[in-house]
Amino acid sequence: MLKIVLFDIDHTISDSRWRDPMLPPNATWDEYHSALEQDKPFTNMIELINTLAEAGYSPVGFTVRPEKWRSLTNAWMMRHKVSLTHIFMRASTDYSPAHITKVAMIEENFTEAERKSIVFIVDDREDVCMMLTDAFGISSLQVRHKS
């Protein structure tokens, strides 16, 4: 039986906190996202992902980074040896709030039967965790990293 775990990327797997001052209106979204390759990894999250993969789970990236940043995102994952089986990213033209986008991602990419294979979701945002648990009954783990 397939066992899927969805992992957010920014602030969950990658330490993107240093980029937060670049959020609009201080910079553009392109400036913010293009700097992602300089993010440090949260090694404890990468260890969790890789351990789950070794145990037969299917860890999947689940991010509101726009699709146009896929190659930089994939390069970062390879450089830090993150064993994700796939990465779902928002459409580059989607500007919906994260919790709305992630609900749509699940609805668009997983059949109702496949949703039952999602064991849990790991995300740093409380609104995302609450929305996904409420919408799909999927357990969520909210991550908070030490400063």
In this structure, what CATH number is given to the domain that contains residue 43? 3.40.50.1000
Per-residue pLDDT reduced to its tens digit, 110-123: 999 999 999 999 99
What average pLDDT does the segment 44-73 reach? Answer: 98
What average pLDDT does the segment 68-92 reach? Answer: 97
Question: In total, how many domains does the chain have?
Answer: 1
Residue 61 gets which letter from DSSP? E
pLDDT at 1 over 90: no
Domain contains 147: no
Written as six digits, the tokens of 29 are 């979204």
Residue numbers of the domain that contains 72: 4-142
**What whole-number distance in Å separates Cα of residue 123 and Cα of residue 129?**
7
pLDDT of res. 8 = 98
Domain contains 102: yes
pLDDT at 103 over 90: yes
Domain contains 11: yes
Domain contains 134: yes
